C-alpha cells in the first residue's frame, strides 16, 4: 500500500510543478499608464518575429538628434513603464524608441515569454530602426538587452542595464521565494529545473554574467541599493564580468528594484556617462 501512496504523492507533486511552470509564465500583467510628453511622438506597430506585432513609440527631440536610444521594459510591464527614463534621454537630445514586448501592453499575445523572447522583440525593433543605438533594459528587459548586445555588437554603441540579475536560475529561485516562501522552498527548485529542461538547458547559457565577457562596449549598470528582487551583489558580480574597465555601476541610494531612476542622482549619472562616451556634436 505504501509504495502506491508514495508514487501517487510523487505524481501529484510533479503535476503541481508542471502546473506552476505554466502559471509562472502567465503571472498577471501590471501595465502602467504614462505617455511621452516631449518632442514629436510617432505611435506605430511593427512586425514581431512570430507574425504578430509590437506597439512602439518613437519620440523625436526638438532640433538635431544625438542618436537613438532603444528601451526594453521588464516582466509584466509595458512601454509606458520606460517613459520617465526615456524623458531623461530626450532632454539630452536623443531620439527615444520604446516598445511593449509580446504579451505585454497592447502587443500581440504570446504564451511563454522569457528572456529569449524579450531579446527577439528588442531585435525586431532594432531591425526596424536600422541603425546603431544606445540600448537600455530594465530587469528582464536588461537580461534580454545583454543577449541582444552579445548577438549584435556592431549595432549597440552604449549599454544601460537597470535592475539586472547575474545568474538566471539563481534569480528565478530568489524571485519565487520572495513571492511566497512556501512555494519558494518546496516548489521553486523543481519549477526552475523543469523550466531549464523546457528551454533545452539554456538558462545558464544566457546568464548575464556568462554573456558579459564578450561585450566590449561601455556599460552603465544601474541598481537599487535596497533591491529585494535581485540584491546589490548581482550588480557587483555583473560589473566584474565585463571586460576590464568597460562597466560602471550607479547605485540608487534607498532605491528598490524599479526606483533608481527616481533618485535625484540618476539624471546626473546618465548625462555624465553619455557625455564621456558620446561627446556633444559641434
Q: What is the mean pLDDT of each run of 10 residues along the chain (282 residues)?
A: 71 81 76 95 96 97 95 96 98 97 95 92 98 97 97 97 94 85 85 85 90 97 96 96 97 97 98 92 65
The pLDDT, as a whole number, for residue 2 is 59
Q: What is the pTM of this model?
A: 0.93
The dihedral region occupied by 223, where left means phi > 0, alpha psi between -120 and 50, and beta the remainder, is beta
How buried is residue 281: exposed, middle or buried, by Cβ count under 10 Å (0-12/13-18/19+)?
exposed
Element at 270 (helix H, strand E): helix 265-277
Cell output for 154: 556592431
The pLDDT, as a whole number, for residue 53 is 97
* CA distance linking residue 218 with residue 74, whole number of Å: 22
Q: Structural domain boundaries of the chain? A: 31-167+204-277
The pLDDT, as a whole number, for residue 109 is 92
- Could you give the residue ranges of the DSSP H alpha helices within 92-167? 115-129, 140-151
The pLDDT, as a whole number, for residue 203 is 86
Cell output for 70: 532603444
| CA angle centred on 183, ends 179 and 185, rounded to 5° | 110
* CA distance linking residue 101 with residue 98, whole number of Å: 10
The pLDDT, as a whole number, for residue 282 is 62
The pLDDT, as a whole number, for residue 43 is 98
* CA distance linking residue 275 with residue 134, whole number of Å: 13
The pLDDT, as a whole number, for residue 55 is 98
- Domain 31-167+204-277 sits in CATH at 3.40.50.1820
Q: Are 67 and 94 in contact (CB under 8 A)?
A: yes
Amino acid at each position: 500500500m505504501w509504495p502506491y501512496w508514495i508514487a501517487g504523492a510523487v505524481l501529484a507533486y510533479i503535476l503541481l510543478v508542471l502546473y506552476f511552470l505554466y502559471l509562472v509564465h502567465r503571472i498577471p500583467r501590471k501595465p502602467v499608464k504614462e505617455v511621452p510628453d516631449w518632442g514629436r511622438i510617432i505611435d506605430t506597430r511593427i512586425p514581431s518575429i512570430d507574425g504578430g506585432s509590437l506597439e512602439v513609440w518613437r519620440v523625436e527631440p526638438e532640433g538635431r538628434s544625438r542618436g537613438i536610444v532603444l528601451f526594453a521594459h521588464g516582466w509584466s510591464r509595458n512601454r509606458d513603464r520606460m517613459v520617465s527614463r526615456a524623458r531623461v534621454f530626450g532632454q539630452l537630445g536623443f531620439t527615444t524608441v520604446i516598445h511593449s514586448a509580446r504579451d505585454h501592453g497592447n502587443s500581440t499575445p504570446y504564451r511563454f515569454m522569457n528572456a529569449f523572447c524579450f531579446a527577439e522583440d528588442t531585435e525586431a525593433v532594432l531591425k526596424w530602426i536600422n541603425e546603431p543605438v544606445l540600448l537600455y533594459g530594465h530587469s528582464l528587459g536588461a537580461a534580454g538587452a545583454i543577449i541582444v548586445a552579445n548577438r549584435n555588437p556592431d549595432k549597440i554603441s552604449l549599454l544601460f542595464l537597470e535592475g539586472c540579475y547575474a545568474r538566471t536560475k539563481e534569480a528565478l529561485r530568489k524571485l519565487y521565494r520572495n513571492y511566497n516562501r512556501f512555494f519558494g522552498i518546496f516548489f521553486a527548485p523543481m519549477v526552475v529545473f523543469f523550466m531549464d529542461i523546457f528551454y533545452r538547458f539554456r538558462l545558464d547559457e544566457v546568464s548575464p554574467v556568462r554573456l558579459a565577457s564578450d561585450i566590449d562596449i561601455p556599460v552603465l549598470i544601474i541598481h537599487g541599493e535596497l533591491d529585494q528582487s535581485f540584491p546589490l551583489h548581482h550588480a557587483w558580480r555583473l560589473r566584474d564580468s565585463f571586460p576590464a574597465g568597460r562597466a560602471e555601476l550607479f547605485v540608487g541610494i534607498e532605491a528598490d528594484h524599479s526606483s533608481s531612476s527616481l533618485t535625484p542622482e540618476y539624471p546626473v549619472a546618465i548625462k555624465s556617462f553619455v557625455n564621456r562616451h558620446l561627446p556633444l556634436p559641434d
